[in-house]
């Protein structure tokens, strides 16, 4: 092969194969793409307008799908200039493809994102040590209990990271401490990581650039919330399921000037805590999951400028209590899931035409109350899963002409009914069972 001229060709050097290997396939984003389809000298992604020159002589490429087409994955960094350096990159790309990991690249051909969660590609520390060789990585998403503190040092060397998610992992306080060197990190997601405690919040509180901290179901208490409240640019905090977080900790967030999104949940979230939240004038997105609040607590929220409200698994909240919806004039997203509602509360919305996303899954909505949805003339995403609607509701649903996604799983809607909806709303993706 001629001397490689650019980063793409350098990456190709390490992954040459025999002619028979060109028939190999890779499963990427749920699609099986034949490798022998890559014998082209130019590939343009329609969605991202990227032009990449491709080697055509018996080269095995790993690929990612971009906007419905495919894009050859090149070498991760144009700064690496010799084929010896391209060998671990090529091996990493091959390993990622084998594991079904989603890899993203930018217009310059640099690998900028790795996501093991989208395809449920649960990996372990050793596998990720082989893959994390890309110095230009800005986004990393890992999931699964086989990820531990052993990987932390390698992640800490990805100094360009702006987003880091480690969900359902066994990362702990010692591992988190290593991330203090990530000066570009803006968002960290550690949800369902039981070994993360208040010690980790000490590390995070010393990273002033952080804007989003997600600690859902971690072992964090009011002490940790107090530390995080010192972050000067904190915009999102998720402490749902953190049983040690009480009204005392949430009260420490009152007066924070940049906090926009607050997600809380658990038995400690009662009417007294909602009274505190109701004084947080900067909150525009609020999520209340599996709380002990009642209609009286919801009534305390009338003065905050909500645009996005989620109430999930709150059996003590009724249609009458949600008269509070009349105060949220800018609401664009509303989730009332697994609550004791018939839907009559929706009449309280002053501007239902502004709602783009509506989730009424597991509610008491029926064929007799489905007509309540006619007011949502601008809704684009609608979830009615696990409700008692049937094909009798279709006449109303097809009137929602702005729909782009409609979820009807575990309802009484038949396959024939779903087909009828798809014909009436050809731009809408209908999910059934």
If phi > 0 it is left, if psi is from -120 to 50 it is alpha, else beta; for residue 284 that is alpha
Return the pLDDT at 31.
35
Residue 375 falls within a domain, yes or no?
no
What's the total number of domains in the chain?
1
Could you count the other beta carbons within 10 Å of the beta carbon of residue 275? 16
Residue 367 falls within a domain, yes or no?
no
Residue 48 falls within a domain, yes or no?
yes
Closest CA to 237 of 265, 262, 273: 262
Could you count the other beta carbons within 10 Å of the beta carbon of residue 46? 10
Cα–Cα distance measured from residue 224 to residue 240, given in angstroms and rounded to the nearest whole number? 13
Residue 60 falls within a domain, yes or no?
yes
| pTM (2 d.p.) | 0.81
For the chain, residues with pLDDT lower than 50 are 1-84
Closest CA to 58 of 38, 33, 73: 38
Q: Provide the mean pLDDT of the chain.
A: 85
Q: What domain range includes position 10?
A: 1-99
Return the pLDDT at 87.
74
Could you count the other beta carbons within 10 Å of the beta carbon of residue 91? 15
Residue 39 falls within a domain, yes or no?
yes
Residue 33 falls within a domain, yes or no?
yes
CA atoms lying within 13 Å on the CB side of residue 169: 29
Residue 69 falls within a domain, yes or no?
yes
Residue 77 falls within a domain, yes or no?
yes
Return the pLDDT at 85.
54
Per-residue DSSP letter, 188: E
Query: CA 208, 211, 212, 218: dihedral to nearest 10 degrees?
Result: 20
Per-residue DSSP letter, 317: -
Return the pLDDT at 433.
82
**Is 291 within 8 Å of 282 (Cβ atoms)?**
no
C-alpha to C-alpha distances, 39 to 23, 58, 97, 104, nearest whole angstrom: 11, 9, 19, 21
């Amino acid at each position: 092969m001629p001397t490689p001229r650019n980063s793409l060709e350098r990456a190709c050097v390490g992954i040459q194969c025999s002619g028979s290997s060109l028939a190999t396939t890779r499963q990427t984003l749920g699609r099986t793409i034949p490798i022998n389809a890559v014998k082209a000298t130019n590939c343009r992604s329609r969605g991202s307008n990227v032009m990449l020159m491709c080697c055509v002589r018996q080269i095995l490429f790993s690929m990612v799908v971009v906007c419905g087409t495919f894009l050859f994955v090149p070498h991760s960094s144009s700064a690496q200039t010799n084929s010896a350096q391209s060998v671990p990159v090529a091996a990493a790309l091959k390993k990622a493809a084998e594991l079904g990991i989603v890899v993203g690249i930018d217009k310059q051909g640099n690998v900028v994102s790795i996501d093991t969660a989208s395809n449920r590609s649960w990996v372990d520390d050793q596998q990720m040590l082989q893959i994390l060789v890309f110095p230009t990585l800005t986004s990393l998403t890992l999931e699964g209990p086989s990820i531990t503190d052993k990987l932390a040092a390698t992640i800490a060397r990805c100094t360009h990271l702006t987003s880091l998610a480690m969900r359902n992992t066994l990362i702990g306080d010692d591992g988190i401490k290593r991330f203090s060197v990530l000066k570009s990190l803006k968002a960290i997601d550690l949800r369902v990581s039981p070994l993360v405690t208040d010690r980790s919040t000490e590390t995070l509180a010393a990273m002033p650039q952080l804007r989003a901290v997600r600690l859902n179901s971690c072992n964090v208490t009011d002490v940790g919330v107090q530390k995080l409240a010192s972050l000067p640019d904190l915009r999102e905090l998720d402490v749902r399921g953190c049983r040690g977080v009480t009204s005392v900790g949430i009260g420490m967030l009152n007066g924070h000037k940049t906090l926009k999104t607050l997600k809380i949940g658990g038995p400690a979230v009662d009417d007294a805590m909602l009274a505190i939240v109701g004084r947080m004038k900067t909150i525009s997105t609020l999520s209340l999951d599996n709380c002990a609040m009642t209609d009286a607590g919801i009534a305390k929220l009338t003065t905050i400028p909500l645009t996005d409200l989620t109430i999930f698994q709150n059996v003590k909240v009724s249609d009458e209590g949600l008269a509070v919806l009349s105060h949220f004039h800018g609401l664009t997203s509303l989730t009332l899931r697994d609550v004791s509602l018939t839907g009559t509360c929706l009449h309280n919305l002053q501007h239902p035409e502004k709602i783009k996303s509506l989730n009424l899954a597991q509610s008491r909505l029926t064929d007799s109350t489905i007509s309540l949805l006619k007011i949502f003339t601008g809704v684009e995403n609608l979830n009615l899963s696990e409700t008692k609607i049937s094909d009798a509701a279709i006449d109303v649903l097809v009137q929602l002409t702005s729909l782009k996604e409609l979820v009807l799983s575990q309802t009484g809607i038949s396959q024939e009914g779903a087909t009828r909806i798809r014909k009436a709303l050809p731009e809408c993706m209908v999910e059934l069972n």
